[in-house]
Amino acid sequence: MSIHVTSVSKSYKNQKALDDISFSVKKGEIIGFLGPNGAGKSTMMKILTGFIKPDSGTVLVDEIDVLDTPIESQKNIGYLPEHNPLYAEMYVREYLQFRAHIYKVDKSQIEHYIEKVGLTAEAHKKINQLSKGYQQRVGIAAAILHNPSVLILDEPTTGLDPNQLVAIRALIKDLGTEKTILLSTHIMQEVEAICDTVIIVNKGKIVANETLSNLQKNTHQILSVQFDKPISEADFNSLSNIKSTLKKGDSWVVTFNSKEDMRPKLFDFAKDKGLKILELSSEQEQLEDLFRKITS
């Protein structure tokens, strides 16, 4: 395991930010740490990177205990904090040289990382002359200069315009071919665009930890059906596991509280009622809707 978190809790005075959190991340995975604002994401990221200590629990990154040996474990961790604190008055190369010095990285490596994050054309500029998207690239370059195996990115695309967003997501995906990545976000589409697996947190607790495909499978089943004759909502009462029904044009969108394939039941239902099915299709529940349901 690249990351192994066991029973981590953290309170700020009376405010419980993390409540008995446990999860693991396999080597080479890109995991989305998803939750609404205030869910505890940044607190978890700061604990993972050794910046703050939890009240209880253990954290291993690449088998090294972050709480006992933070300096040792930080060699394996690259961290892009929320709001990416950079020295705005510094030139890009100057800043990366400064960071290389802190991490005792040979300065000859800097050009390699400038190229890797797509900063070559901007590297002669001052950081405050760069767009937000390029500033994020500087932050990411600084985070990977010491070639860590694990990358922790706290809300890496917040405040980017749509083009920058696509470019930074592509860069993160590319870095994910070499590194284990845990990124926090409050946007489900971000997870869908980048991640293999999602951990959903709400009010300091994990409420889901699934691959995206499993998350989709484990949700309700939604069927859209068109009959040859009009029927009323009450007619559906004879069907089992119905969660909701909605009339949409000539069709009915029926949501079932069941993972079992409900299509045969719907055919039986039509036969019993003397109806013919003109159209039947399965709809995926949007992950965004699911996220809102889980965390509302």
Residues 155, 186: Cα–Cα separation, whole Å: 8
Min. distance of Cβ 239 from ligand ADP in angstroms?
Answer: 40
Instruction: Report which of 52, 97, 79, 235 is spatially closest to residue 149, judged by C-alpha positions.
Output: 79
Binding status of residue 12 toward ligand ADP by CB under 6 A: yes
Min. distance of Cβ 208 from ligand ADP in angstroms?
Answer: 15
User: Which parts of 171-230 interact with ligand ADP (CB under 6 A)?
Assistant: none
Taking CB under 6 A as the binding criterion, the range among 37-45, 110-118, 131-139, 175-183 that sits at the site for ligand ADP is 37-45
Binding status of residue 38 toward ligand ADP by CB under 6 A: yes
- The only residue of 15, 69, 131, 284 in contact with ligand ADP, by rule CB under 6 A: 15
Binding status of residue 43 toward ligand ADP by CB under 6 A: yes
Sequence-distant (≥ 6) Cβ neighbours of residue 234 within 8 angstroms: none
CB closer to ligand ADP, 37 vs 232: 37
- The only residue of 30, 34, 39, 150 in contact with ligand ADP, by rule CB under 6 A: 39
Taking CB under 6 A as the binding criterion, the range among 9-17, 86-94, 160-168, 214-222 that sits at the site for ligand ADP is 9-17
Min. distance of Cβ 209 from ligand ADP in angstroms?
Answer: 16
CB closer to ligand ADP, 109 vs 158: 158
CA angle 187-193-198, nearest 5°? Answer: 65
Report whether 98 contacts 86 (CB < 8 A): no
Residues 294, 110: Cα–Cα separation, whole Å: 43
CA 81 to chain centre: 15
Sequence-distant (≥ 6) Cβ neighbours of residue 2 within 8 angstroms: 25, 26, 27, 28, 29, 61, 62, 149, 150, 180
The DSSP-derived string for 234-254 is: GGGGGSTTEEEEEEETTEEEE
Q: What residues line the site for ligand ADP (CB under 6 A)?
A: 12, 15, 17, 35, 37-43
